[in-house]
Amino acid sequence: MRTGVIKGLGSALPDQILTNHDLEAMTDTNDAWIVDRTGIRERRVGGMTSELAVRAGRQAIERSGLDPASIELVVLATTTPDQTVPATASTVQAQLGLRSGAFDVNAACSGFIYGLVAAQAMISMGMGNILVIGCDSLSRITDYHDRGTAILFADGAGAVVLEAREQPEASLLSWNLGSDGTAAGILYADIGGVLVMEGREVFRRAVRVMVDSARAALDAAGIDIADVALVVPHQANLRIIESAASKLGVDMQRVAVNIERVGNTSSGSIPMALTDAVGKGQLSPGDLVLLVGFGAGMSWASALLRWDGA
């Protein structure tokens, strides 16, 4: 079976730290409320999407030990491209010195999983190694006078290199991708505009779609949640993560969380949380790992992977 094995991971954050106390000076909010209602203490802001994506991508390639010349495609999940045209993936490909295909995926905070599943499908069709990056610079489209969004959104990137291999079992066991475009109005940014969100409504739907999507992916592979070593959820709000975990019947020891210091980085969130979890030794070869995301669209996505030990 031809499959893509995660060989290297990387992440990147801008240098500028924006704390909850910094936000108190910008909008009507306070540190205690933000920590209590979201779990976030600080986030990073600044820089362009391509800049962060290049840093994360370079780290993932170096750690993979693979020859950069063997990378045949760059898939960049982002909802904040540097420009409308060209695809930011092309800018990233050039800056990494790769000779490969390149395209962007926009499925908001679910984008990295959409990109990962697309990359796996392309590998199974015969393509070689693929670099998949999730990156957003949401600070560029955040209104810092709007306390409903300013406290959450931030910038960051995560990346994985998929090595194309022939092996008995697929690395991606199952997936679930979905969208409900009738809910587009609860979280959007017009071209040239800032993020507008009905926070409570997004929260309510988020828990439901995460649970349903995770269950659909588990069912498709015939796997029980008890056999999953680690769930890596989109880092949107600690209360959303805790609520979804409790409904899925998974204790928080088996959930990757790094929202406290990075906030919600949209497409960057899941690959960054995965990179951090691997760095902390939370995954061992053979483990099952479940990625679960949701975001504007609304969109949602899950992917169940057998960890091969990057």
With respect to ligand UT7, which residue has the nearer C-beta, 7 or 147?
147
- Which residue, 26 or 223, has its beta carbon nearer to ligand UT7? 26
What distance in Å separates the CA atoms of residue 221 and residue 219, rounded to the nearest whole number?
5
DSSP 278: H
The smaller minimum CB distance to ligand UT7, of residues 79 and 174, is found at 79
Smallest separation, CB 58 to ligand UT7 (Å):
26
Give the Cα separation of 40 and 279 in Å (integer).
21
Instruction: Give the pairing of strands 71-77 and 101-105.
Output: parallel
Structure tokens at 268: 């960057």
From the candidates 106, 129, 176, 234, which is the catalytic residue?
Answer: 234
Task: Tell me the closest approach of the beta carbon of residue 75 to ligand UT7, in angstroms.
Answer: 20
Q: Which is nearer to ligand UT7, 165 or 239 (CB)?
A: 239
Q: Choosing from 109, 176, 237, 258, which is the catalytic residue?
A: 109
Q: How far is the CB of 2 from ligand UT7 (least distance, A)?
A: 33
Strand, helix or coil at 116? Answer: helix
Dihedral of CA 309/68/164/232: which sign?
positive
**One of 176, 237, 258, 264 is an active-site residue; which one?**
264
Q: Confirm whether 264 is a catalytic residue.
A: yes
- The residues, ordered by sequence, that sit 6+ positions from 222 with a Cβ below 8 Å of its Cβ are none
Min dist. Cβ of residue 288 to ligand UT7 (A): 25
- What's the start-to-end Cα distance of the chain, in Å? 19
Contact residues toward ligand UT7 (CB under 6 A) are 29, 33, 37-38, 109, 147-148, 151, 187, 197, 199-200, 202-203, 206, 236-237, 240, 264, 295
Tokens of 246: 């409790």
Residue nearest to ligand UT7 (CB): 199
Could you list the active site residues? 109, 234, 264
